[in-house]
A and B are shown apart, each in its own frame.
Chain A
């Protein structure tokens, strides 16, 4: 009897395991610490310069003073245009792939293309945007409409279109996931009530998948807002005296509209230029931190919103799945 007790009580050698698991934990801890330190530093330094004037003023005195108003405006304008290009095409593609397409050569090609597009380096997409959108599409429009040199040059329109190419795969993949997670029983119920395919999609599938689709849209918006490499040479400007706005004449009134054929300022580009080409780094450093904080807050808040949306989406799915 005491024999078995000895056998069971003897602690087996586990020191190696404890050390290994300990180092995994510390590596994880290091990463999270480093990332939080970086974010903390940006926050502490950035919050110093952020006030209302900083958010709306133009840069002054060779970028050493003033605010980043035009850059915020430009970033928002480009992002909105980008979504206008990418969301309809992305969502419609996903609807086709998930609701209509059968598994054939064409759909496999489409899926492979989406994967490849997602893996293509952003700078290559920028190269394509420059060569294709500006030099092929833009110049052709100028030629046909006889507009001189209006479309065939770097502008917000082409920057947004290029960013749209960049985020298209994200939108397609997340929308596919959202549609795919709607149980078939929901569609069957609609068919059973005599609904056609389109009616089923329109009244049953899309409303239920909406939060999931929105998650993807927000995520890709965040990605497109922070990505600057592809649009470095597509109309980003270091400094513009005026906002890219055109007055559209409507008889008595004139309405200000974003002018997509203009150049624009952009938060990410602003950071890049200030950090690499500033003649007086000591003076611009606070502005660099401030701009970085604003950009990070925009992208992180968007990400957070997406995560919360997805969480809610999954919760509702669990309920329909059970019911």
Chain B
């Protein structure tokens, strides 16, 4: 190899690697810009809700979103909690909607905790590996049923069945909606429970059996306590899902904007209110801004629920690692 050739090669390869280097860098930045989309979206959602809510507070007043004080003919003032933005005297109490959301989400959470944890225990501790392999995808498929379908079933079948059974004052009510909600929450709680139980090291099961515990004693005294944080996270996430769900409540709850604590009455949730009214509201009206306040409350509450669940899970992962 003569000197000229060597020089040529080194020059050439230097050029190539420099070109390559720039290309590699550009590709990296291209991917990075894409990954900023998630931050951009979550930030803009937050800022957007905040901005529109601010406009609402500015034009309507924060107090109005709690309740409205009206004077009765007797001369005494009375606070009413009602969501009725289209009346002559618009009322913007989010309290009634919040209660409505809880009235459907809390029973749904209880039901799905009971069934979901049972299914999770069954899948993780009791089922043979063969039936687990079949049932887990089935659970996943159930989780994929569109919520509008559950809402439809509640209307088409559920309402009639419950009407005949309980004779509720309203045909469509919070209880019906919460049954519908639990159908979508059970698969969530079940798969998260199963995951939490399977992350309990097998050595602990062995220890328990070697001390003469039977299967149920092992589950109750060793596995469930060890996975307790995972279970609570599962329930919290199920609750968050129930609070944030729209279609089922919209279709099955009857949508009465009255404040009620009776689970067999018609009511209205925060999500259903947005869904029902956003299409008809005129742009930049007070009503329009008020809907964003509901959105803000929803966003913040699910954000907090997810955060709590995430913190609990992180703690559990650390504990199980040590």
Interchain CA distance A272-B149 in the complex, whole Å: 9
B-contact 0/1 string along A68-90, CB 8 Å cutoff:
00000000000000000000110
B-contact 0/1 string along A262-288, CB 8 Å cutoff:
000000100110011000000001001
Interchain CA distance A295-B152 in the complex, whole Å: 12
B118 neighbours in A (Cβ, 8 Å): 23-24, 27-28
Does A140 lie at the interface of the complex (its beta carbon under 8 Å from any beta carbon of B)?
no
B138 contacts A32, C-beta separation under 8 Å: yes
Does A62 lie at the interface of the complex (its beta carbon under 8 Å from any beta carbon of B)?
no
A113 neighbours in B (Cβ, 8 Å): 38-39, 41-43
B291 neighbours in A (Cβ, 8 Å): 127
Does B8 lie at the interface of the complex (its beta carbon under 8 Å from any beta carbon of A)?
no
Taking the closest CB of chain B, its distance from the CB of A239, in whole angstroms, is 15
**Known contacts A27-B114, A127-B278; A299/B42 CB under 8 A:** no
Which chain B residue has the least Cβ–Cβ distance from A266? B148
**Known contacts A27-B114, A31-B186, A100-B32; A228/B146 CB under 8 A:** yes
- Main DSSP-derived SS at the A contact region: helix
Residue in contact with A223 in the complex, picked from B144, B246, B295, B310, CB distance below 8 Å: B144
Residue in contact with A109 in the complex, picked from B27, B39, B114, B138, CB distance below 8 Å: B39
A121 contacts B246, C-beta separation under 8 Å: yes
- Number of A residues near B (Cβ < 8 Å) is 86
**Known contacts A17-B216, A226-B146, A229-B147; A110/B36 CB under 8 A:** yes
A24 neighbours in B (Cβ, 8 Å): 118, 121-122, 126
Does B145 lie at the interface of the complex (its beta carbon under 8 Å from any beta carbon of A)?
yes
A-contact 0/1 string along B96-126, CB 8 Å cutoff:
0000000000000000001100110110001
A198 neighbours in B (Cβ, 8 Å): 23-24, 27
Interchain CA distance A275-B278 in the complex, whole Å: 20
B147 contacts A227, C-beta separation under 8 Å: yes
B302 neighbours in A (Cβ, 8 Å): 119-121, 124
A226 contacts B144, C-beta separation under 8 Å: yes
B217 neighbours in A (Cβ, 8 Å): 17
Interchain CA distance A228-B275 in the complex, whole Å: 10
Taking the closest CB of chain B, its distance from the CB of A18, in whole angstroms, is 8
Does A92 lie at the interface of the complex (its beta carbon under 8 Å from any beta carbon of B)?
yes
A93 contacts B24, C-beta separation under 8 Å: no
Taking the closest CB of chain A, its distance from the CB of B33, in whole angstroms, is 8
B151 neighbours in A (Cβ, 8 Å): 272, 275
Does A42 lie at the interface of the complex (its beta carbon under 8 Å from any beta carbon of B)?
yes
Q: Which one of A48-56, A165-173, A243-251 is at the B interface? A: A165-173
A228 contacts B31, C-beta separation under 8 Å: no
B38 contacts A169, C-beta separation under 8 Å: yes
**Known contacts A115-B310, A303-B141; A131/B245 CB under 8 A:** no
B238 neighbours in A (Cβ, 8 Å): none
Does A197 lie at the interface of the complex (its beta carbon under 8 Å from any beta carbon of B)?
yes
**Known contacts A27-B114, A113-B39, A226-B146; A131/B157 CB under 8 A:** no
Interface residues of A in 1-59 (CB under 8 A from B): 12, 14, 16-18, 20-21, 23-25, 27-28, 30-32, 34-35, 38, 41-42
A128 neighbours in B (Cβ, 8 Å): 44-45, 48-49, 295
Does A292 lie at the interface of the complex (its beta carbon under 8 Å from any beta carbon of B)?
yes
Which chain B residue has the least Cβ–Cβ distance from A41? B157
**Known contacts A120-B302, A132-B44; A93/B31 CB under 8 A:** yes
Does B1 lie at the interface of the complex (its beta carbon under 8 Å from any beta carbon of A)?
no
A233 neighbours in B (Cβ, 8 Å): 275, 278-279
Which chain B residue has the least Cβ–Cβ distance from A232? B275
B24 contacts A196, C-beta separation under 8 Å: yes
Interchain CA distance A285-B152 in the complex, whole Å: 10
Interchain CA distance A123-B245 in the complex, whole Å: 8
Taking the closest CB of chain B, its distance from the CB of A40, in whole angstroms, is 12
Does A150 lie at the interface of the complex (its beta carbon under 8 Å from any beta carbon of B)?
no
Does B153 lie at the interface of the complex (its beta carbon under 8 Å from any beta carbon of A)?
yes
Residues of A within 8 A of B (CB): 12, 14, 16-18, 20-21, 23-25, 27-28, 30-32, 34-35, 38, 41-42, 88-89, 92-97, 99-101, 109-110, 113-117, 119-128, 130-132, 135, 165, 168-169, 172, 196-198, 219, 222-223, 225-229, 232-233, 268, 271-272, 275-276, 285, 288-289, 292, 295-296, 299-300, 302-304, 307
Could you list 14 further interchain pairs (A-B, Cβ under 8 angstroms) beyond the known A120-B303, A121-B271, A276-B250?
Answer: A12-B214, A23-B118, A25-B122, A41-B157, A42-B149, A119-B306, A123-B271, A124-B244, A126-B278, A127-B292, A229-B247, A229-B275, A233-B279, A300-B141
Residues of B within 8 A of A (CB): 20, 23-24, 27-28, 30-32, 34-39, 41-45, 48-49, 52, 114-115, 118-119, 121-122, 126, 135, 137-138, 140-142, 144-149, 151-153, 155-157, 183, 186, 212, 214-217, 219-220, 237, 240, 243-247, 250-251, 271, 274-275, 278-279, 283, 291-292, 295, 298-299, 302-303, 305-306, 310
